[in-house]
Amino acid sequence: MFDRFLVPIHREGWPFVAIFAGVTFIMALMSTFLGFVGAILTVWCYAFFRDPERVTPVGDNWIVSPADGVVTAVEVVTVPDELELKEKSCTRISIFLSVFDVHINRVPCSGEIKKIWYYPGTFLNASLDKASELNERQAFKIVTHDNKEVGFVQIAGLIARRIVSFVKEGDKMLTGQRFGLIRFGSRMDVYLPKDVAPLVVKGQKMVAGETVLADMSAKEVGREGQIR
């Protein structure tokens, strides 16, 4: 049960773990009960920043999930202007990350990051549809080796108050590489070309860097889920 928490954490998390541990020490001096509560919160903080290794599927056309969490929507929407995609209408896959999910984000496909755009917005519940337009967010456009465009957006939530990026425009990335994180609880939107059939459904659990969202070479999915 606890093996999924006993993994290294990202360096971004150590200052927070240290703060939680320090506060826990002070609380323990005041009360055994408060110290116990603080210890639980410190363990949770450590678990939040855990950074497990992932086994990414090999394939130039695979689009993998950039985040752990649950798919809350798969729908065709108008592309946000900030992504600067050629297509004005795309299939958007929204993934909600709870405070118990791994929050290290991974690049959904190989390619060059052509655009990064940051918007300091509000902090609505990340599961709401309007969070994609109103919340603090950071958008990325990546162009694949065969000149296809994929957009993905980190969206802050009700508790999340900080978006962190590890990359810059012009960086060449491989599928599944780490590109950022969001503290604490958030959402990730992925924008696929409208003619690319998604291979996931609402309510499905995602694993960042491993779960395949779509095959860019497949244009249709049969009733049995087989790629055509």
The amino acid that residue 93 corresponds to is I
Neighbours of 197 (CB within 10 A): 16
Alpha-carbon distance of 37 to 27, in angstroms, equals 9
Check if 186 is active-site: yes
Alpha-carbon distance of 103 to 46, in angstroms, equals 12
Facing residues of 164 across strands? 181
Closest CA to 59 of 220, 213, 180: 213
Q: Which position among 110, 132, 186, 217 bears the catalytic label? A: 186
Burial annotation 71-99 (CB, 10 A radius, 16+ → b, else e): bbebeebebbebbebeeeebbbbbbbbbe
Name 155's Cβ contacts closer than 8 Å, sequence gap at least 6: 126, 131, 132, 135, 136, 137, 182, 186, 187, 188, 189
The amino acid that residue 132 corresponds to is S
Determine if the peptide bond prior to 184 is cis (ω within 30°): yes
Enumerate the active-site residues. 186
